Amino acid sequence: MLGLDADRLRADLNRLLAFLFHQGILDEQYLQLQQLQDESSPNFVSEVVNIYFHESEKLLRNLRSLLMDREFSDYDKMGIHLNQFIGSSSSIGAKRVRNVCVAFRAASDQNNRAGCLRALELLEHEYCILKNKLHELFQIEQQRLLAAGVRYPMLN
Amino acid sequence: MSGNGASSSSLNMISGEDVVNNNFSALVVDDSPLLRLLHDIHLKKYGLKVQVAENGKVAVDLFHLGASFDLVLMDKEMPVMNGVEATKELRAMGVTSMIVGVTSKDGPGEQQAFMEAGLDYCFEKPLTPEIISFLLEELNKHHNKD
């Protein structure tokens, strides 16, 4: 029975991953990340993703702070933040977030403040979706590991 | 992707033996903790000894202090000293390591400027296993020539 729980959770995990790939929220780079995880670095994916969350939220705050400034004109600085965001999003396979950043950067390159504001709203929205879905993924994975661990109790 | 002779047909996987039996060292230069961790773990999986630096100046200072690396992965946009400046400085110092630029989605003009600073290759982030295998193959070729 306990083994079935682990199997059911694995099926849930695979379904969620398939959904995320199908929706373009994640791409194959996320699988590359998973392949780097092993016994020597068992929490590698969650470590990397947590760093990504931390960096992304700092970048989003910086971008919003720049755009909310009435005197704002430093599009070069905005471009630097966006390049960082594009790089880190590409590295974890956050495809939709990356694509929005690329569009945001295009607006920034044209010094298009209204376009940047629209892009920022969309970016915050996409980032929120990604974060929620990745949390869901990690929760299911944790439950699966617990269920798989209970499947093999210590016998005297 | 830009490089001296690099093409998709030469991006072949090398054998598992080549991958783990190498004494190559690498320096990952990137202001993003995420990219430093990612490239660090990735390169270590391929058997390289890895050090990291958070900007171009730290990288240049390491070489000034006598450190040497077979491979340098150089991010382009960094505070204090960016990848273009750091690459120029390393080449001016006489550093002959393989320096590989790693960039976000840049225009062709920007990648060209980075290449002209003295890179051997330039790739978009993130580096894939195919690219790392290719770089190891190139390192092996240079190592066997010497």
Please tell me the predicted confidence (pLDDT) of residue B43. Answer: 93
- pLDDT tens for A114-152 read 999 999 999 999 999 999 999 999 999 989 888 887 545
Report the phi/psi class of residue B80: left, alpha or beta, with left for phi > 0 and alpha for psi in -120 to 50. Answer: left
**């790739």: which residue's tokens?**
B123
What ranges do the domains of chain A cover? Answer: 2-30+44-147
- pLDDT tens for A37-59 read 888 888 899 999 999 999 999 99
Please tell me the predicted confidence (pLDDT) of residue B23. Answer: 85
CATH architecture of A2-30+44-147: Up-down Bundle (1.20)
Please tell me the predicted confidence (pLDDT) of residue A3. Answer: 65
Q: What chain B residue is nearest to A38 in terms of C-alpha separation?
A: B45
Q: Which residues of B touch A (CB under 8 A)?
A: 31-35, 37-38, 41-42, 45, 75, 77, 103-105, 124-126, 128-129
Determine the Cα–Cα distance for residues A79 and A106; give it in Å rounded to an integer: 9
Burial of B76 (0-12, 13-18, 19+ CB in 10 A): buried
Please tell me the predicted confidence (pLDDT) of residue A109. Answer: 92
Are the beta carbons of B34 and A91 separated by less than 8 Å?
yes
- pLDDT tens for A62-71 read 999 999 988 8
What ranges do the domains of chain B cover? Answer: 25-144
Q: State which CATH number among 3.90.400.10, 3.40.50.2300, 3.40.50.11540, 2.40.40.20 fits the domain covering B25-144.
A: 3.40.50.2300
Mean pLDDT, consecutive 10-residue segments, chain B of 146 residues?
A: 42 46 88 92 92 97 97 93 97 97 76 93 88 92 73
